[in-house]
Structure 1
Amino acid sequence: MQGTGVTILVVEDEQLIRDMVADALSDGGFEAEVAVSGEDAVSLLQGNQTKYRALVTDINLFGKLDGWQVGHRARELNPDISVIYMTGAAADQWPAHGVPNSILLTKPFAPAQIVTAVAQLLNTGTPPAQS
């Protein structure tokens, strides 16, 4: 399958989830780059502020930075970047800590859900209506 040329940064410290998300995005026509910590993600974002069209980040990460902080830093560097958060336990913190026009996916989720969330944000700039 030919890629869209759209690069998504995936930040997840659990290898199985990281691989599942990266594979789903690749299958959906996106190019996925992975980081295992918030610090790695911020370094990649700072190195090329316009390379990544979207950020998919877990909330609880190894290291000093959590996913909320990575999302905020990504928006400081690139106000147009789409942000999708993934969490198993921190969903209740999203209204207070998430960046505007972001999406939260609660683990476990189907691989297709991540592709749909990214595509929705990239196409419209707004998250799908929550039911």
Structure 2
Amino acid sequence: MNAKVVLLVEDEALILLDIEAALVDEGFDVVPAINGAKAMEAFDADPSGIDAVVTDINLGKGPNGWDLANHIRAHQSEIPVVYMSGDSSHEWSAKGVPESTMIPKPFVHAQVITALSSLINHSDQA
């Protein structure tokens, strides 16, 4: 079985590297992006090559996590999306894409891994 490819989007480099290492340790392949624009570029370059998205909400200048997920879901309506946020989790029900998950910061890696694996398993069974 091929490893699932996760588009990981986080504007804080140390957090990005930390989560990337945790995902790789769990057997995922990771496409890291430091902002929404880079994430959209990576996705648009190979939409079928991305199996899931883990994104922060506030990504600095340019598209935010809500914008990114909506852009991706316009092309892949069932792709699993996990949001991470320290201050925007209260907006998830209004701005998040359907059947996504919100992980409030701070979190432990296991929360992201569990949420991601659950959404991927659900998506694979659909």
Which TM-score applies when normalising by structure 2? 0.93
**CA distance in 1 between partners of 2:104 and 2:93 (Å):** 14
Q: Which residue of 2 aligns with 1:78?
A: 76
Q: Name the amino acid aligned to 1:11.
A: V
Q: How many matched pairs?
A: 123
* Structure 1 residue 80 displacement after superposition: 2.1
Q: After TM superposition, give the deviation of residue 20 of structure 1 in Å.
A: 1.4
Q: Distance in 2 between matches of 1:21 and 1:103?
A: 16
Match of 2:65 in 1: 67
Q: Is the 8 A contact 1:46 1:77 kept in 2?
A: no
Superposed CA RMSD in Å reads 1.2
1:61-120 Cα offsets, whole Å, 9 max, x none, are: 022111000010010121121100000000110000000000000001001111111110
Q: Give the Cα separation in 2 of the matches to 1:78 and 1:115.
A: 21
Instruction: Provide runs of 4+ in structure 1 moved above 3 Å.
Output: none
1:88 pairs, out of 86, 102, 109, with: 86
Which residue of 102, 105, 121 corresponds with 1:104? 102
- Residues 1:117 and 2:112 aligned together: no
Confirm or deny: 8 A CA contact 1:4 1:30 kept in the other structure.
no
Give TM-score scaled by structure 1 length.
0.90
> Does the C-alpha gap of structure 1 residues 40 and 75 become closer, same or farther in structure 2, counting only changes over 3 Å?
same
Give the Cα–Cα distance (whole angstroms) in 2 for the partners of residues 4 and 103 of structure 1: 24
Quickly say closer, same or farther: Cα 1:4–1:109, change in 2 above 3 A.
farther
Unaligned runs of 5+ in 1: 126-131
Q: Tell whether 2:21 aligns with 1:23.
A: yes
1:1-12 alignment runs, 5 A limit = 4-12=2-10
Aligned-partner residue type, residue 89 of structure 1: D
